[in-house]
Every structure is written in C-alpha cells, then in structure tokens.
Structure 1
Amino acid sequence: MAEKRNGGFAGIGATQGALLGYIRRKGSASRVELAEYCNVTPAAVSMMTRNLLERGLIEEGARRQEGRGAPHIDLMLKKTVGYALGAHANRYSVMLTLLNFGGEIVGELQMRRSYDAFSDVQRALEEGSEELLSKNAISRNDLIGAAIAMPTRFRNEAMSLDLADEVISWAGSDLSTMLREALRCPVIIENDANAAAMGELTLGNTAGHENFAYLYLSEGIGGGIIIRNELYRGFLGNAGEIGALRGRGNSRPSFEDLAAWCLEHVGEKPSGRAPDIWTDYLSRNTAVLDAWLDRAGPQVARLGFAVSAVLAPDAIYVGGTLPRMVREKLAKWLDYEVSDPFSGAKVIQPQILLPGVAATDPVAFGAAAMILHGIGETD
C-alpha cells in the first residue's frame, strides 16, 4: 500500500515507518529522541534517517543546544512529498479528507445524500476526489493511496465483505474494482470503527494511551481495539464487534434506534444524519432524548464494562456518528461505580474520553491516517 508510484516509499522498513510516525505526531524530533523511542542505537538511527533524507521524505531543521556536547538537529517530515485520501461512506453520506504527509488536513468535503447503490458512492468518490485535488493544486499521481471506511465486517479473506444491514444494497458489486476505477490509486477497504480508532491513535490521543478501546456508536454499534499502539484486528480483521455482546431483544444505543424513537414519540424527525440538524432537533426535544438515554445508557454501560473486563484498557473513547451531545451524555454511563451495570461486579475503571481528532469526519480522517500509518509496516 505504501509503495508510492514514484518509488519514494518502496522498501521502507517497519522501524523507519515508526520513525516517520513519531515525527508526524511530535512535529519534529532529534536523532537522540528517535533512538530512545525505537530502542535502537544512535548509529542505526543515523543510517535510517540518512536514507529517509536521501529519499526526500524528511528534512533537517533547527539546531538545539541542550547541555554539553554537539547540538541536536531537529528532523521534520517533508509534508508535500505525498498525500493520503480517506473516505467514510455510508447510506447517508460520503465524506472525504485529504491529508499531507505530515498528517495535516489539506481539505475536506461533505457529500450528504442517499447512497442506496454503490455506483452512487463510486461517482461521489470520483467527483469529490477530483474537486479536492484540483482545489489544492495536487496531482493524482501524488496520492500515496486511499482508504475507504464503511460499515462492514470481513469474511474468508480481507477483501470479501460482510456488509452491515444499512448498506446491504451495495452487495453484489465488485467494490474493490469500482473504487480503484474511481480513485486511480492504490485503495484499501476498512471497517469504519477501525478507521476511527486509528485516526485517534495516530493523530489524536493527546493523553498518549497505548491501550484503548474505541466505542463506535453509529447506525449500528462497533468498536476498535488498540493494543501497544497498534490496531488489534483479530481473525479476518473482525475484532471489536462490541455490538455483538448486546442481547437482540434490547434497545440499541445507535443512531438508527434514536431516530426510530424520535419518530415514534415526536411524530417527525430530521432526514439524513447531519449532526448540526440533529443537535438542534434534540435540543428542542430534550424530554424525548432523556427518555431514550434512560433506555440506551444501561446498554452502553454493559458493553463498556464487558470490554473493560476482558481488555482492561487505559481508556475508552466514545465516538461515532451520533451527535456529540448525545455521546457526552452516554459517556456518563461508563462510570461503573455509578451505573453498576452488573449488580456489584467490579473492574478497573478506564478513563472515559470523547475523541480528540479535530476533523469534520473522524472516520474519513482516520482512513487517511491509516494510509500514512501503513508506510513501512513490514521490514
């Protein structure tokens, strides 16, 4: 995936990839810092960074004098060497995020409408990517790759998809081929919850948690699991199916369930899933929202408790397409001392956080971040 068409990324090993990722998170770093982070010798770091300098992927910056000895030279990423495109596709929208090599947002695009057929998604990706690239004077040849996140599981092999019910109408299409035709660059398909978790790991996560769970509340319920700063995929890439722990007869803490509840108790609801429209609507119908939270909150508490019991994560991030105000209220149920989801059972309380990624769509952002993170995954 990380083999750019001009060859600039071919042959980069896992340790070099880790160096690039560290510099991306910190903004700049000295060779001494990099050696400590990767637990390798200064000589090894010098050799690896020399190679990255020759490739034109990093550049030297300011010199810093810290105590005696030679000054430290800061190394920085050359941000314009390549770009990563991330997309978040579901039944209600296609969202695009374009990142430069430094992980900074170059552009974003929201395309909200109904996407009942995957050919509509393909067209939106083709036209939207062209708009983003043209607006920022970037050649498609400078795309390192693209990642498309959608509500899906995987079966048999990585590219055999088990689509969620909300997008089951996309089944039967050759999604991989259609995506490559639309974007004309290397493409991967990813689960939306995994993409969101990876975005938080690579360019969010200001607390620096190495082990965390990402509870993804959207049309369905999913999750991403980060262990030792890496995404844990499990068999066929299906780890994190947190929603499967919920009894089928219970209400779901999902956007679909909230929308159905509002329609039943208010008599009307917004079309689509635009967060600002839903936030305004829910602010005008607080009693209906509070009643739904009383149903959904205990389910969130049980799911979070189960994850905490099995994984003992440092933190749980509460993300997804549910409006932020709703997720803030649901997050309070993850204080197990208060919610007591299993009648006195105890686990170590993780820190409960909302995602810190500053992007219009954290999933599209995370998908693009996965392309950058994937550079040098194997030696």
Structure 2
Amino acid sequence: MTSYGEGSDQPWNPRRGRSGNERLLLDRLRTDGPASRAQLARDTGLSKPTVSSALASLELAGLARQAGTHSPERGRSAVLYAPDPTAGYALGIDIGRSWLRVALADLDGTIVAGSEAHNSARSSGALVELVVGTARHLVDTSGIEPHKLAHAVVGTPGVYDSVSRRVRFAQKLPGWDRAGLFDDIRAGLGIPLEIHNDANLAALGEYTHGVGAGSRLFVYVMVGTGLGMGVVSEGRLFTGAHGGAGEIGFLPWPHASPAGSPAPPSAPDIAAAPGQMEAMVSGHAVVTTARSLGMNHPADAKEVFDAAREGDAAAARAVEEEARRLAYTVAVVASVLDPDLLVLGGGIGHSADLLLAPVHEHLRALTPLRVRLAAGALGDGAVLHGAVATALEAARDLTFDRKRPGG
C-alpha cells in the first residue's frame, strides 16, 4: 500500500510522508477503534517500524494514547492505541428566535458540556454579545484549556452569504442581516467559525445521530416559528448553488382552499408573506387557525396540541388543518426529491403523535407517491448535534495540524 506522502501532485519529502502516515493511522483508529501496532500494520500496509515510529510521534504530540492491552491465546500481549479525545475540542452553537444552545465536544464527539439561554435580545449587537458570552462562559466553566478549542459551527435561520458576509432571509432575528456580524462572533470567540443554515444542520444531526442513519436520500422538515428543510444525499448535505436549497417556506401556497378550511393567517400574525408556504404551515399558523376556529387565545402551537389531546374541539380541528397543510408540503417535497425517509422536526415534531396518521391519510389523496414519514429522535437538540458533527470534522484537522511539529 502506498503511504500518504507518495503519488501526490506535490514533491514528496520525509516530513510530509511521516505526517501522512500519522494521519492515516489516526483516521484508522478513529474509524475502527483501538488497535495494536501489528494490527495497524496489517490494516494500512505500512511496515511495523513505520507504524511504531508514527505512533510514537502521535503519543508525543498528545494525539494518541495507549488504551489497554490485548492478550491473544498465543504470543505476547500487545499494547492497544486509540486517538486521545482530549487533544482538541469543537463548539456547536444553535441560534434560534427563542433559545440559544451551545455544546462543547471532544474529538470523539462526546458532548462534555452544554448550556442554553433564553434569547431575549432585541438587536443584532445584543444577540452577538449573548452568543459570545454564553459560549465563553461554557468553555471557562468546563475545565477545558481554552487553547484546545479548535473550531466552532453556528446554526442560524436564513442563508449565509460568504461573499457579503451576511445572513439573508432571517426575518425573525432583528438586524441579523448586518454585514460582518459573524466576524464579531468569530473575533469574540477567538477561533475559526463556520455558519450554516439551522435546518441543514438539523438534518445532518438527525442523519448522524437520529432516525436518518443509513438513508440514501434523507429529508428533514423543520416546522417551528418558521419552515425550513434540510436534505442529506448519500451522507452529504445538499445546499444548492447559493445555499438556498431547502428554503421551502418561500414556495407559493395555492390560493384555493377546500370548503370549510380556515382562512389563511393574516400578515401581522406571521413573519412570512401570507401567500407563502411558511405562512400556512408554521407554528404561528397553527395558533392563528385555532383562534379562528374559536379556541380562546392560545399562546403557542404547543398549547393548541396539548388542548387537542385533552379533547378541545377547536384545537382538534386546528391540528387536523395543520396535518392537511403538512401533507401538501410533503407531497411537494416528495415529487421533487423522492426521499426514502422524511422526518418532521422542529417544535411541531414534538406533536408527531397527533400528526403522522392524518398526514399519511391526506397524502394518499394528494399524490400516488409513497413517502416514509417519521418523527425526529433528537427533538430540540437536532441543530446542535449537526453543528457539533460539522465542527468536529474541521476540529480534528486543525488539532492534528497544530500538534504536529512545525504546526
């Protein structure tokens, strides 16, 4: 087997060759678990002296450590090696309209500390201060050495434009489209930072740690204060040419409604334009529909669903209407993407027990396509799990580069 330093388009040199071999071994240990020198030599094709030298360098750099021994029936016991998860850390941040959630994970992906704060910020500057303050406090109180924090990923509503350095379409966060705003967060944290759409990260989180594992084409529909969608194809996020893939809230809603259906929500009750899908399917729409049907001032969608479980007739009708609208949404998505699994998440996902059966029923009348539906397994943590998973990829690379001689 050819070692990492050979066969590339750059001149080979001994240092780069050693670094490539060390990375090869580290990736093997991370993927398949602890292994001995002999096993690593067999798996990678590297010679035993090369493996021994690379492991010694990894141990010296704090990237790998001994992880016990293996005693075969015959022969001497062998020392097992594993990546050192404490060599570096990744930070995941979920910025929502109502809540801010932050998690700190080691290089194995284990979340070692987490925090959440109510988002009461009324300006972009105040929200930046809340994000930076909450994240820094989490790191300070976690016992983690700050210099080991390698990379952060932020999940936010809207689409981040890396050219203009601003977020588009995040109407629910005042001033969130200010250019350079995430530069302020990056400077406040003092580490590399990536920005991703929250529904995309939720899809990746649910695919990696939830019910989406193994799906060929996985779709996550996030229904909460807004409406968004994330698509994972063959294990990778699909974001489109400009990052806007999945912004289904902007789809036009058909003006014709079945007889007896409540009128569309009025613009003051929702953030989206009244002719768009988000205006008809989001949590705000559930509340507005329930009020129009006679329910006495529900505060939020959760209250409507709770009342429906208790037998409130107006609430039950509002839930049925939400199921009908969700079925239309799913039918549109199924026609365009043909997913093998579609998950309902966000705040509405908590009420999948009331929605999945009627959504299936309405789907049969709308489309001949059959879609497998499920409720998300990660609940409110889906975005954060996706942010951590994304941050880990970069954190592992950055930690390796930092700790290598000359890094």
Q: 2:374 aligns with which of 353, 362, 372?
A: 353
Answer yes or no: is the 8 Å Cα contact 1:89–1:95 preserved in 2: yes
| Distance (whole Å) between structure 2 residues aligned to residue 332 and residue 283 of structure 1 | 14
Q: Which residue of 2 aligns with 1:135?
A: 141
| Distance (whole Å) between structure 2 residues aligned to residue 19 and residue 355 of structure 1 | 33
| Distance (whole Å) between structure 2 residues aligned to residue 42 and residue 341 of structure 1 | 52
Percent identity between the two aligned chains: 21
Q: 2:109 aligns with which of 90, 103, 108?
A: 103
Code of the residue aligned with 2:383 in structure 1: it is V
Q: Which residue of 2 aligns with 1:6?
A: none
Counterparts of 1:280-319 in structure 2 under 5 Å? 286-319=312-345
Answer yes or no: is the 8 Å Cα contact 1:116–1:170 preserved in 2: no
| Distance (whole Å) between structure 1 residues aligned to residue 188 and residue 142 of structure 2 | 19
Matched, 1:362 2:382: yes
Code of the residue aligned with 1:345 in structure 2: it is P
TM superposition shift of 1:210: 3.9
Structure 1 range deviating more: 308-317 or 203-212: 203-212
Q: Which residue of 2 aligns with 1:255?
A: 283
Q: Which residue of 2 aligns with 1:84?
A: 90
Answer yes or no: is the 8 Å Cα contact 2:88–2:395 preserved in 1: no
Answer yes or no: is the 8 Å Cα contact 1:246–1:299 preserved in 2: no
Q: 2:295 aligns with which of 266, 275, 290?
A: 266
Distance 1:236 1:206, change over 3 A: closer
| Distance (whole Å) between structure 2 residues aligned to residue 71 and residue 286 of structure 1 | 68
| Distance (whole Å) between structure 2 residues aligned to residue 210 and residue 290 of structure 1 | 35
Q: What secondary structure sits across from 2:219 in the alignment? A: strand
Answer yes or no: is the 8 Å Cα contact 2:222–2:344 preserved in 1: yes
Code of the residue aligned with 2:392 in structure 1: it is L
Distance 1:179 1:82, change over 3 A: same
Structure 1 range deviating more: 183-192 or 52-61: 52-61
Counterparts of 1:324-363 in structure 2 under 5 Å? 324=350, 326-335=351-360, 338-340=361-363, 343-347=366-370, 349-350=371-372, 352-357=373-378, 361-363=381-383
Could you say which structure has the larger radius of gyration? 2
Distance 1:310 1:43, change over 3 A: farther
Q: Which residue of 1 aligns with 2:169?
A: 163
Matched, 1:209 2:215: yes
Q: What secondary structure sits across from 1:266 in the alignment? A: coil
Answer yes or no: is the 8 Å Cα contact 1:246–1:303 preserved in 2: no
Q: What secondary structure sits across from 1:322 in the alignment? A: helix
TM-score (norm: length of structure 1): 0.75
Q: What secondary structure sits across from 2:330 in the alignment? A: helix
Q: 2:235 aligns with which of 226, 229, 243?
A: 229
TM superposition shift of 1:30: 5.5
Q: Which residue of 2 aligns with 1:8?
A: none
| Distance (whole Å) between structure 2 residues aligned to residue 306 and residue 44 of structure 1 | 52
User: Root-mean-square deviation (CA), in Å?
Assistant: 4.1
Gaps of 5+ in 2: 1-17, 254-274, 399-407
Structure 1 range deviating more: 211-220 or 147-156: 147-156
Code of the residue aligned with 2:332 in structure 1: it is A
Number of aligned residue pairs: give it.
Answer: 352
Answer yes or no: is the 8 Å Cα contact 1:158–1:237 preserved in 2: no
| Distance (whole Å) between structure 1 residues aligned to residue 336 and residue 78 of structure 2 | 43
| Distance (whole Å) between structure 2 residues aligned to residue 294 and residue 206 of structure 1 | 26
Answer yes or no: is the 8 Å Cα contact 1:147–1:190 preserved in 2: yes
Code of the residue aligned with 2:333 in structure 1: it is V
Code of the residue aligned with 2:209 in structure 1: it is L
TM superposition shift of 1:200: 2.1
Matched, 1:179 2:185: yes
TM superposition shift of 1:329: 2.8
Answer yes or no: is the 8 Å Cα contact 2:167–2:176 preserved in 1: no
Q: 1:118 aligns with which of 112, 124, 128?
A: 124
| Distance (whole Å) between structure 2 residues aligned to residue 285 and residue 340 of structure 1 | 25
TM superposition shift of 1:355: 2.6
Q: What secondary structure sits across from 2:245 in the alignment? A: coil
TM superposition shift of 1:333: 4.6
Q: Which residue of 1 aligns with 2:11?
A: none
Answer yes or no: is the 8 Å Cα contact 1:125–1:183 preserved in 2: no
Answer yes or no: is the 8 Å Cα contact 2:151–2:394 preserved in 1: no
| Distance (whole Å) between structure 1 residues aligned to residue 339 and residue 26 of structure 2 | 25
Answer yes or no: is the 8 Å Cα contact 2:290–2:304 preserved in 1: no
Code of the residue aligned with 1:143 in structure 2: it is L
| Distance (whole Å) between structure 2 residues aligned to residue 18 and residue 270 of structure 1 | 55
Deviations, residues 306-339 of structure 1 (Å, cap 9, x unaligned): 3233333221122113361x2343333553xx32
| Distance (whole Å) between structure 2 residues aligned to residue 18 and residue 223 of structure 1 | 37
Deviations, residues 227-262 of structure 1 (Å, cap 9, x unaligned): 111111211222222333451266622122223345
Q: What secondary structure sits across from 1:231 in the alignment? A: strand
Q: Which residue of 1 aligns with 2:9?
A: none
Answer yes or no: is the 8 Å Cα contact 1:65–1:71 preserved in 2: yes
TM superposition shift of 1:284: 5.5
Q: Which residue of 2 aligns with 1:372?
A: 392
Q: Which residue of 1 aligns with 2:268?
A: none
Code of the residue aligned with 2:324 in structure 1: it is P
Identify the structure with bigger relative contact order (alpha carbons < 8 Å, sequence gap 6+).
1
TM-score (norm: length of structure 2): 0.71
Gaps of 5+ in 1: 1-10
Distance 1:168 1:354, change over 3 A: same
Deviations, residues 49-72 of structure 1 (Å, cap 9, x unaligned): 858666543445356689999999
